[in-house]
C-alpha cells in the first residue's frame, strides 16, 4: 500500500498518515457560510481537499473514505442579507427569505464547485439540521465546568483548557493582542467564546435550556463532526485563515466534550490566494467569484489546473499568464489524447505511479502535473487521459465532450481556412480585401490565430479560443 505523508499543522511536521480505521478513513473540512457566491479564495480549499479525497479513495478504496464538508446556514451575515432583501420589498417573512437565500446559495455553490471538477463529499450537513446535537454538547460542557451561562449566552471558558493555543502556536496573551476580541460584561475572560446566544423573535432561533437562541459558529463544526465521524477521526482541514480562532476553538470544545478521544489526528491548512501578486479585495478591484470567471469564459478545468500548479501550503497567485498557460497546456493534452489515445483503454488503466507518489508526498500537485507533461511527450494519450481524470481536470463524460467539441471545431476551422483562402485569392484579383479583413477580424475575436502565407491559410486555436463565436461564420 502506498504510504501517504502529510504535514500536520498541529505537530508542524510531515508525518506518515496512519488511519484510525483502514475501512473507514474519515475527513472533515470546514465548508462555506451560505449567504453569497463563493469567491476564488473560497474555492482553493475545495480543490485541495478534493485532491486528497481522490488520493485517499485510490489508496484505501472508494467505499472506505467518509468525507464531510458542512454548510453554515445560520449566521448573522445570512440574517443581514435576508433583512436587506425584506427592506427592499421582497415578499415573505424574514425566516422565509433566510431559507430561500440559503437554498439559493447552496445551489450556486454546488454548480460552481462542480464546474471545478470537485467530487461531492459523502455528507454535506447543514448546521440547522444538528441543533439538538449542539445543545447536548453545550449542556455537557456546562456540566463538566468548561462552559458557563451568562445573560442568555453560554460561553466556553478558555482557561479551563490548558492546551488552548497548541494548534496555532500562540499564547493566550498573543491571541488577545492580535485578535478582535469581543468585549462583553458577561464574559469571565476576554478570550472566552460564545457557544449559544439569544435570538430575537424575528430571527432564527431554537428553544434550549438557556432560552430561545442560536448556536455560535465554532460549536456547529464540533457537533456535526462528532455526530457524523465520531469523537475521534483522521483529518480536519480548511484554509489557514480558520486556524485561529475557529479551529483552535473546535479543538478546545471537542476535547473537553469528549475527554481522551483526541478529536482530529491530522490538521491540514491551505495557504491563501492572491491575484496578480496582491491580496484579493474589493477595494483593490481584484475581487471576483468563481462564477465571474466561468461567465467570462474561463473553463472550470482551467481554474482547477491553475490551482494544482501551486503546493497547498504556499500562497497561490492567480494571474492572467497562468490562466492562458493552463488553457494552452490542456489544449495540448487534448490534442495528444485525440491523436494517440483510446478512452476505453484509458478507463482500464491505473493512474501513473509517479503522479500517485507525488500526491502521496504531502499533496505535491505541482509535481503531479509533470506526469501529464511526460505522458504528452511520450504520446501516451490513453495514460494521459486516465491521469487527467484522476487529477479531476476532467471526468470521463466531460473529457469525451471536450474531444468531440475539439473535433467539431477542427472541422469548422478547416472549412473557414478554405473559405478565407478562397476570399484572399478573389481579393488578389479584385483588390477588394473587405471580406478578407472582416473574416480575419471575426476569427481573431474568437481566439483564433490566423496565419497566411504563400503556402495557404492556417487557423490555429489560441488562448481564449471560443468555438461558439464561429457559429455565425460557418
Locate 447 and state its grid cell.
481566439
Q: Where does residue 348 rank: exposed (0-12), middle (13-18), buried (19+ CB within 10 A)?
A: exposed
How far apart, in whole angstroms, are the C-alpha atoms of residue 229 and residue 53?
A: 15
Q: Is 246 annotated among the ligand-binding residues?
A: yes
Locate 370 and state its grid cell.
509533470
Locate 388 and state its grid cell.
487527467
Whole-number pLDDT of residue 343: 97
CA separation, residue 21 to residues 50, 65, 136, 230, 315 (Å): 20, 10, 27, 12, 33
Q: What is the DSSP letter of 473?
A: G
Question: What digits encode the pLDDT tens for the residues 169-216?
Answer: 977 676 665 555 566 788 999 999 999 999 988 888 999 999 999 999
Higher pLDDT, 454 or 268: 268
Whole-number pLDDT of residue 408: 85
Q: With bands split at pLDDT 50, 70 and 90, how would you rate the model's confidence at 456?
A: confident
How far apart, in whole angstroms, are the C-alpha atoms of residue 154 and residue 417?
A: 72
Overall average pLDDT of the 375-400 stretch: 97
Whole-number pLDDT of residue 102: 94
Q: What is the DSSP letter of 183?
A: P
How far apart, in whole angstroms, are the C-alpha atoms of residue 440 and residue 261?
A: 68
CA separation, residue 195 to residues 131, 146, 238, 250 (Å): 12, 11, 21, 11
Catalogue the E-assigned strands of 17-80: 25-29, 65-69
Q: Is 255 annotated among the ligand-binding residues?
A: no
Question: What digits encode the pLDDT tens for the residues 164-173?
Answer: 999 999 776 7
Whole-number pLDDT of residue 110: 98
Conformation bin of residue 204: beta by default, left when phi > 0, alpha when psi is -120 to 50: beta
Overall average pLDDT of the 303-312 stretch: 98
Amino acid at each position: 500500500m502506498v504510504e501517504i505523508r502529510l504535514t500536520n499543522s498541529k505537530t508542524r511536521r510531515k508525518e506518515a498518515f496512519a488511519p484510525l480505521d483502514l475501512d473507514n478513513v474519515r475527513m472533515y473540512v470546514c465548508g462555506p457560510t451560505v449567504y453569497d457566491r463563493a469567491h476564488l479564495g473560497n474555492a482553493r480549499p475545495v480543490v485541495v481537499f478534493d485532491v486528497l479525497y481522490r488520493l485517499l479513495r485510490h489508496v484505501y478504496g472508494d467505499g472506505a473514505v467518509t468525507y464531510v464538508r458542512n454548510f453554515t446556514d445560520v449566521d448573522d451575515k445570512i440574517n443581514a442579507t435576508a433583512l436587506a432583501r425584506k427592506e427592499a420589498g421582497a415578499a415573505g417573512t424574514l425566516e422565509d427569505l433566510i431559507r430561500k437565500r440559503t437554498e439559493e446559495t447552496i445551489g450556486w455553490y454546488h454548480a460552481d464547485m462542480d464546474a471545478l471538477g470537485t467530487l461531492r463529499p459523502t455528507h454535506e450537513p447543514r448546521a440547522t439540521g444538528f441543533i439538538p446535537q449542539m445543545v447536548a454538547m453545550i449542556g455537557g460542557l456546562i456540566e463538566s465546568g468548561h462552559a458557563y451561562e451568562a445573560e442568555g449566552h453560554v460561553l466556553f471558558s478558555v482557561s479551563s483548557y490548558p492546551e488552548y493555543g497548541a494548534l496555532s502556536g500562540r499564547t493566550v496573551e498573543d491571541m488577545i493582542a492580535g485578535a478582535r476580541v469581543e468585549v462583553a460584561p458577561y464574559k469571565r475572560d476576554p478570550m472566552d467564546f460564545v457557544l449559544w446566544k439569544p435570538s430575537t423573535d424575528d430571527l432564527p432561533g431554537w428553544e434550549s435550556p438557556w432560552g430561545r437562541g442560536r448556536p455560535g459558529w465554532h460549536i456547529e463544526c464540533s457537533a456535526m463532526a462528532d455526530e457524523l465521524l465520531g469523537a475521534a477521526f483522521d483529518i480536519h482541514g480548511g484554509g489557514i485563515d480558520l486556524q485561529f480562532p475557529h479551529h483552535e476553538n473546535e479543538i478546545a470544545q471537542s476535547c473537553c466534550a469528549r475527554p481522551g478521544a483526541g478529536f482530529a489526528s491530522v490538521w491540514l491548512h491551505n495557504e491563501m490566494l492572491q491575484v496578480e501578486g496582491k491580496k484579493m479585495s474589493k477595494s483593490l478591484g481584484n475581487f471576483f467569484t468563481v462564477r465571474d470567471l466561468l461567465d467570462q469564459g474561463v473553463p472550470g478545468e482551467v481554474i482547477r489546473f491553475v490551482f494544482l500548479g501551486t503546493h497547498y501550503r504556499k500562497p497561490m497567485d492567480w494571474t492572467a499568464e497562468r490562466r492562458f498557460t493552463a488553457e494552452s497546456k490542456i489544449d495540448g493534452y487534448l490534442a495528444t489524447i485525440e491523436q494517440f489515445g483510446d478512452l476505453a483503454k484509458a478507463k482500464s488503466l491505473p493512474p501513473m505511479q509517479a503522479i500517485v507518489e507525488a500526491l502521496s508526498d504531502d499533496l505535491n500537485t505541482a509535481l503531479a502535473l509533470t506526469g501529464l507533461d511526460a505522458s504528452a511527450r511520450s504520446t501516451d494519450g490513453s495514460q494521459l487521459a486516465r491521469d487527467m481524470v484522476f487529477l479531476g481536470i476532467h471526468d470521463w463524460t466531460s473529457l469525451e465532450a471536450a474531444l468531440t467539441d475539439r473535433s467539431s471545431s477542427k472541422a469548422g476551422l478547416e472549412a473557414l481556412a478554405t473559405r478565407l483562402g478562397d476570399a484572399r485569392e478573389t481579393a488578389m484579383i479584385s483588390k477588394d480585401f473587405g471580406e478578407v479583413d472582416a473574416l480575419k477580424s471575426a476569427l481573431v475575436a474568437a481566439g483564433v490565430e490566423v496565419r497566411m502565407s504563400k503556402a495557404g491559410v492556417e487557423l490555429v486555436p489560441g488562448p481564449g479560443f471560443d468555438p461558439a463565436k464561429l457559429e455565425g461564420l460557418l
